[in-house]
Amino acid sequence: MNANLFALFESRFPADRTACCIETHDGLYYSWDDLDRATAKLANLLTALKLPAGSRVAVQVEKSPEALFLYLATLRAGYVYLPLNTAYQEAEIDYFVGNAEPAVVVCSSNNFGWVSKVAFRHGTAHVFTLDDNRTGSLLQRAAVQPDTFETVECADDDLAAILYTSGTTGRSKGAMLTHRNLASNAQTLNEYWGWRSDDVLLHMLPIFHVHGLFVASHGALLAGAKMIWAPKLDMGQILKYLPRTTVMMGVPTYYVRMLQEPRFDKELCSNMRLFVSGSAPLLLETFDAFRERTGHTILERYGMSETVMLVSNPYDPALGERIGGTVGRPLPGVSVRVTGSEGKSCEPGVIGNVEVKGPNVFKGYWRMPEKTAEEFTADGWFKTGDVGRLGGAIVSQAGERIVPDNYLTIVGRSKDLIISGGYNVYPKEIESFIDEMPGVVESAVIGVPHVDFGEAVVAVVVRKPGMEIDEAGMIGTLKGRIANFKVPKRVHVVDELPRNTMGKVQKNVLRQQFGAL
């Protein structure tokens, strides 16, 4: 049996392939036949390039149905998909392209000048453009290709995608996900969340990371369900499309914004079956306010780039209730444990390190065997770097709530990861940019609570004697060098950073001192 993920999707296409697969915010309709023919043309183009087996296809483009088709075509042709955040700047792209050595790079027309220089400098043979208005050299070249293609045979363990995820050292790591990793997770979520062929997914997430590309898109594709496709969060489009929708996925920011809209009410959600939140912690205040406003209880879940989804609050009430402040139970086939400093499992309610096992856990980090070995225990569990507890209690203004022992609560991140608006921000990377700036001795980047983004990025900077640090100027410079979601919202100047006796910066002290924007 062909383990290619596209073959699995294809087997679930609806019998009526003239039915709508994707409806866009600007009134376009794509049938399942359109998806099949478009991915065939793109797969034929990639194959015609005579790329070596296992070649990577790196993509940094705006969201569009054609961008999704490119991902599916890459799978279909047996190559490895490498999505890149559209906010990444030249220094970041230079590292990813240099490390992954993709055979093909696809970018927006606006960025072709600098992206092509980066790509050719690292030996990439083919650079195409793709824009969100169905133009670009990729589609021009694909237009003359045949519209049928026999999906390439793949084994379970063959690579399907590489997702870059940074660590506290600042060096980005490419998480290698196989066809089995992605297929097993999609099939599990399809059943656990009750996906149906008559579902309609309101898709407002970006498609360069796990949530939008793998969780949302895979869910609809595997169910043979329609997607309503919008480029980003837009309240006007939510008000327009929600009455025709049954499933919506978003980061907590989406739900905060929805609650701020007076016209967002229970009637608007009368056709809804499921609201899912992830990629960042959902405040209990938002969880409770959403349920009171709409009558719907948001389903929170937990996953990572290295594992896709691991844990979820139940969809089926027979399996338990959805509890605010927790991310729920391990998904079927996934094992979760919480361990102490000596590697022994913690008792229920005791905080420790979250470790996981399952068919969805990645193959390893691209060209980093030593780092891969470090991240797994001797008995084969992946160390997530998150800190949490199984069971225990959730304490809120409403009082204390006992949590079942098989429910996981994430309480922190041992690797200083900041999650702002659903995007991962790694302090060391930003510190390396700041430390190079004139007048800076050193810096520390922290996350502080923020009502919209969950966490906001804040920088604390030590200046050189006699030098001045201009906060607005520093922020402006950073905006030209790194993705906007990584740029600090505030820069605080101090004489020195607090340190412990071992010389390590005490970021907990900085969070207490600068915890309010």
Output the six-digit token pair for 411.
């309480």
Which range is most confident: 21-25, 255-259, 440-444, 507-511?
21-25
Task: Over range 57-82, report the average pLDDT.
Answer: 98
| H or E element in which residue 411 lies | strand 408-413
- Output helix, strand, coil percentages for the chain, rounded to the nearest 5: 30, 25, 40
CA of residue 468 relative to chain centroid, distance: 38
The structural domains of the chain, with segments of one domain joined by +, span 34-154, 418-513
Residue 282 has pLDDT above 60, yes or no: yes
Q: Give pLDDT, residue 503.
A: 52
Looking at residue 451, its pLDDT comes to: 87
- 84 in helix, strand or coil? coil
User: 270-303 burial string, b = 16+ CB within 10 Å, else e?
Assistant: eebbbbbbbbbbbbbebbbebeeebebbbbbbbb
CATH dotted code for 418-513: 3.30.300.30
Buried b (16+ CB within 10 A) or exposed e, 464-484: eeeeebeeeebeebbeebbbe
Instruction: Please state, in angstroms and rounded to a whole number, the distance separating the CA atoms of residues 475 and 67.
Output: 31
pLDDT of residue 395 exceeding 80: no
Write the DSSP symbol of residue 259: H
Question: In the prediction, which pLDDT does 413 show?
Answer: 66
**Among 135, 60, 131, residue whose Cα is nearest residue 90:** 60
Does residue 410 surpass a pLDDT of 80? yes
What is the average pLDDT across 384-405?
84
Query: Smallest Cα–Cα separation from 433: which of 475, 485, 496?
Result: 475
Across the range 16-42, mean pLDDT stands at 97
186-197 burial, b for 16+ CB within 10 Å, e for fewer? bbbbbebbebee
Query: Are the CB atoms for 151 and 76 separated by under 8 Å?
Result: yes
Residue 417's pLDDT band (boundaries 50, 70, 90)? confident
Q: Grade residue 168 by pLDDT with cuts at 50, 70 and 90.
A: very low
Q: H/E/C letters for each residue in 306-339?
A: CCEEEEECCCCHHHCCCCCCCCEEECCCCEEEEE
What 3 state SS string does 460-483 have?
EEEECCCCCCCHHHHHHHHHCCCC
pLDDT band at 396 (very low <50, low <70, confident <90, very high): low
Spatial CB neighbours of 472, under 8 Å, sequence gap ≥ 6? none
Mean pLDDT value across residues 116-126: 98
- pTM for the model: 0.86
Contacts (Cβ under 8 Å, ≥6 apart) of 435: 442, 443
Q: Which pLDDT does position 397 carry in this prediction? A: 56
Query: Which of 142-151, 185-194, 302-311, 417-426 shows the lowest mean pLDDT across its residues?
Result: 417-426
Mean pLDDT of 19-47: 98
Q: 10 Å Cβ neighbour count for 501?
A: 5
pLDDT at 501 over 50: no
What is the structure's pLDDT at 507?
86
Tell me the fold of 34-154. Answer: Rossmann fold (3.40.50)
Categorize the per-residue pLDDT at 283 as very low, low, confident or very high, splitting at 50, 70 and 90. confident
Alpha-carbon gap, residue 19 to 34, rounded angstroms: 10
Confidence of residue 394 (pLDDT cuts 50, 70, 90): confident
What is the C-alpha to C-alpha distance for residues 94 and 89, in angstroms, rounded to an integer? 9
Largest CA distance in the chain: 73
Q: What is the mean pLDDT of the chain?
A: 93
Instruction: Express each pLDDT in 311-336 by its tens digit.
Output: 999 999 999 999 998 999 999 999 99
Mean of pLDDT values over 334-363? 94
What does the pLDDT average to over 441-461? 91
- List the single range of 99-113, 203-217, 342-356 with lowest mean pLDDT: 342-356
State the pLDDT at residue 516. Answer: 80
Average pLDDT, integer, range 120-143: 98
SS3 380: coil
- CA 128 to CA 138: how far, in whole Å? 5
pLDDT value at residue 502:
41
Task: Give the residue carrying structure tokens 């220094």.
Answer: 91
Model pLDDT, residue 463:
92
Give the residue-averaged pLDDT of 424-453. 86
Spatial separation of the C-alpha atoms in residues 388 and 408, rounded to whole Å:
7
Are 15 and 52 in contact by the 8 Å Cβ rule? The answer is no
Is 31 in a helix, a strand, or coil?
strand
Q: pLDDT tens for residues 178-188? A: 999 999 999 99
Count Cβ atoms below 10 Å from residue 423 Cβ, excluding itself: 20
Give the percent of the chain with pLDDT over 90. Answer: 79
